[in-house]
């Protein structure tokens, strides 16, 4: 049974929805409190300022990415299956957290969010996927490190949100081709 989210997690999830739907400029702590189902004093106890809330949102997103990626890795012991599942996870995660129109809603915030999360995402992908990154021919040959392979895949995936394309399956096919791997049959 999944653990119930903490008050802070409930607030952060509400804030992320608000930013995704309306952009960070229209984020108000009162609206976040209402969306989270908590009182304003409760929200202010956890996040006294909008700046602190925005910073915590970035850290929360990075943590959620890492947790989800680790769960995926635990479910796919085979490196090829883990790699393919990770590609889908990255795209699904970005679709869920950024949405398809994030860059048009607030370009500066969206770019900063991507920049802030790139380093931690590279570290997470390289650490969690480990030998699964050897599926990339240039990593397997030693031309790129696992970290460099993870970075290139993430940068290609991130670019989908800079120049949006509504076809997620096409993005996955492009990532697979870029990585030099074939899609695995659904299991």
Listed residue (78, 75, 36) closest to 53, CA to CA: 36
Classify residue 52 as exposed, middle or buried by CB count within 10 Å of its CB (0-12, 13-18, 19+).
Answer: exposed
In this prediction, residues 5-26 reach a mean pLDDT of 87
Q: Is the dihedral of CA 128, 84, 109, 23 positive or negative?
A: negative
Q: In this structure, what is the dihedral angle of CA atoms 121, 125, 128, 133, given to the nearest 10 degrees? A: -170
Tell me the pLDDT tens digit for each residue of 104-153.
Answer: 667 787 788 888 889 999 999 999 999 999 999 999 999 999 999 999 99
- The pLDDT value recorded for residue 185 is 60
Tell me the pLDDT tens digit for each residue of 77-102.
Answer: 999 999 999 999 998 888 777 765 66
Identify whether the C-beta of residue 14 lies closer than 8 Å to the C-beta of residue 43.
no
Classified as helix, coil or strand, 44 is helix
Q: Does domain 1-48 have CATH number 1.10.10.60?
A: yes
pTM of the model: 0.82
Both tokens of 53, joined, read 């809330």
Classified as helix, coil or strand, 17 is helix
pLDDT band per the 50, 70, 90 thresholds, residue 186: low
Tell me the pLDDT tens digit for each residue of 27-68.
Answer: 899 999 999 999 999 999 999 999 899 889 988 988 999 999
Listed residue (125, 57, 119, 114) closest to 89, CA to CA: 125
Both tokens of 124, joined, read 């997470």
Both tokens of 94, joined, read 């970005």
pLDDT band per the 50, 70, 90 thresholds, residue 187: very low
Listed residue (128, 171, 174, 168) closest to 150, CA to CA: 128
- The pLDDT value recorded for residue 104 is 66
């Amino acid at each position: 049974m999944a653990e119930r989210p903490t008050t802070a997690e409930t607030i952060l999830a509400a804030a992320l929805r608000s930013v995704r739907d309306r952009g960070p400029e229209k984020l108000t702590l009162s609206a976040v409190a209402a969306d989270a189902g908590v009182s304003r004093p409760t929200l202010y106890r956890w996040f006294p300022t909008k700046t602190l809330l925005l910073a915590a949102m970035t850290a929360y997103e990075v943590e959620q990415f890492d947790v989800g990626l680790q769960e995926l890795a635990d479910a796919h012991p085979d490196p090829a299956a883990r790699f393919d599942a990770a590609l889908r996870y990255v795209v699904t995660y970005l679709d869920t957290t950024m949405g398809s129109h994030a860059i048009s809603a607030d370009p500066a915030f969206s770019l900063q969010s991507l920049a802030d999360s790139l380093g931690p995402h590279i570290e997470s992908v390289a650490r969690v996927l480990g030998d699964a990154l050897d599926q990339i021919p240039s990593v397997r040959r030693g031309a790129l490190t696992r970290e460099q392979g993870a970075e290139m895949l993430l940068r290609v995936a991130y670019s989908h949100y800079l120049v949006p394309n509504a076809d997620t399956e096409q993005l996955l096919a492009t990532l697979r081709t870029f990585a030099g791997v074939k899609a695995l049959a659904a299991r």
